[in-house]
Amino acid sequence: MDVELIIDDVPVTAAAGASLLDVARCAGRDVPALCHHEAVPAIASCRLCLIEVRRPGRDWVQLTTSCDYPVSAGLVVVTNSPRIRKHRGMNLELLLRRAPDAPVLRQLATQFGVTRARFAPVTDAPLPDCILCELCVRVCCALDYNALAATGRGHDKRVGPPFGRTAAKDCVGCGSCVEACPTACIPMADTATTRTIWGRTFELLTCVRCGRPITTKAHAAAMAAGADLPVKSTDLCEVCKARLTSERLASPRR
């Protein structure tokens, strides 16, 4: 069911229950968020997507995260104000403590006028530049591999292989965690034939037509098993799949 709300004095129609962050962005508002991905549940860990919300019948304004705030009828939303910018700036300073050299954070620091670090940087993090957004963990879980976990609390919180392991035994080397990571802090090294990630080295599967690496053989086997298909169904890269389809459509015997 669609409902109406107001975002920055502009009436907006959106699906009830949708993420207010997604709705605001679809309405053209620039709301920063580093821990958010539309495909996984929100946990509001980076705290950069702060907005101001006034609910119907209330005369007070709530400062809240928008990624985990569901849309409902009659909301009045502000996505940029001095109060919002102040708190986003403070949260950004806390993130910079963990990832002072991350380009995405340096860019946001310029945007919000953060010119100096008031907090000492974290020097003992096992994964430098990790802001503990848990996107890697949530994406891995959504794909049903469950190779990563968040462990500990507060200063001792970590993400990586569970149970203190140095290698993620259930990892298939798909690299989805690397793609999702907002600070590019997850090391992944590819050679012509192998991929090394999370303490493991995988053999790469190459396209049978062009020889281009596609993914790891472990990932291909997992995808084939999940779809109840033979592994051979994954032995073409996307470019060659498109070319093969075009060739078949153009064949006079079709």
Number of domains in the chain: 2
- pLDDT for residue 254 is more than 60: no
231 — pLDDT class (breaks 50, 70, 90): low
Last residue of a domain, one of 85, 100, 119: 85
Please give the residue range of the domain that contains residue 11.
Answer: 2-85
126 lies in a domain?
Answer: no
Give residue-wise pLDDT tens across range 66-99.
999 999 999 999 999 999 999 999 999 999 999 9
Token readout for 79 is: 């996505």
Calpha distance 205→7 (Å, rounded): 48
* Same domain, yes or no: 242 and 140: yes
Give residue-wise pLDDT tens across range 152-209.
888 788 999 998 898 999 999 999 999 999 999 999 999 989 999 999 999 999 888 8
CA torsion sign, 20 to 88 to 63 to 12? Answer: negative
**168 exposure class (CB count in 10 Å sphere: 0-12, 13-18, 19+):** buried
Window from 7-11, 51-55, 147-151, 248-252 with minimum mean pLDDT: 248-252
- Asked if residue 143 lies in contact with residue 176, where contact means CB atoms within 8 angstroms, the answer is yes
CATH code where residue 29 lies: 3.10.20.740
Which pTM was predicted? 0.86
* Same domain, yes or no: 78 and 139: no
130 — pLDDT class (breaks 50, 70, 90): very high
117 lies in a domain?
Answer: no
190 lies in a domain?
Answer: yes
* Same domain, yes or no: 16 and 78: yes
- Asked if residue 63 lies in contact with residue 80, where contact means CB atoms within 8 angstroms, the answer is no
Element (H, E) at 204: strand 200-206
147 lies in a domain?
Answer: yes
Q: What is the pLDDT of residue 232?
A: 60
Read off the pLDDT of each residue in 116-142 and give the average, rounded to a whole number: 91
Read off the pLDDT of each residue in 22-31 and give the average, rounded to a whole number: 96
167 lies in a domain?
Answer: yes
Contacts of 87 (CB under 8 A, 6+ apart): 47, 50, 63
* Same domain, yes or no: 73 and 146: no
Backbone angles phi, psi at 54, to 5 degrees: -120, 125
97 lies in a domain?
Answer: no
Angle subtended at Cα 157 by Cα 155 and Cα 158, rounded to the nearest 5 degrees: 130
